[in-house]
Amino acid sequence: MLRLIAEKPSHGYELIKEIEDRLGGAYSPSPGTVYPTLTLLEELGFVTVAASDGSKKAYSITDAGRAELEKNRATVEAIFSKIDEVAKRAGNVTPPQLVRAIENLKLALRLRLERGKLSDQQVADVAAALDAAASTVERD
């Protein structure tokens, strides 16, 4: 979080969204994680409250915070490299709506086939429906 604040003074909610965005939506830290960390960073003298808008405090990095970042540069770079890897993998995850639909189709077919033999017309209808779905999926 210190590096994110060094890039741009932010309040807690902005940091939560930034972390979520950088991780491609794969993870979003809870306020119960972010706000105590901000308090700790402030107590350590690494950040200061730059501005306050009601209950929102915008934090900015201090010289001590910059020195701490520099001291831990290799670790911070390794963390952000891992964050980039997670974001790339998150972009390749099958959307949950598709997983649900695929599982729904498999279950419906299995349950129907367990009820007994299909007539020739039922077999043709199911095959036509599956072929139509495959055509839809293959379209660009």
**115 and 100 in one domain?**
yes
**105 and 78 in one domain?**
no
**60 and 119 in one domain?**
no
Q: Contact 80/13 with Cβ under 8 angstroms? A: no
Considering the entire predicted model, what is its pTM? 0.61
**104 and 85 in one domain?**
no
pLDDT at 114: 92
Residue 121: C-alpha distances to residues 69, 102, 114, 124, 127 (Å): 70, 24, 17, 5, 10
Tens of pLDDT, residue by residue over 24-82, are 777 889 999 999 999 999 999 999 998 777 778 899 999 999 999 999 999 999 999 99
Tens of pLDDT, residue by residue over 85-125, are 887 777 666 666 776 788 889 888 988 999 999 999 999 99
Instruction: Say how far apart CA 122 and CA 128 lie, in whole Å.
Output: 10
**6 and 64 in one domain?**
yes
pLDDT at 140: 67
Does residue 112 come out as left (phi exceeding 0), alpha (psi in the -120 to 50 range) or beta? alpha
**21 and 73 in one domain?**
yes
Structural domain of 75: 2-90
What is the total count of domains within the chain?
2
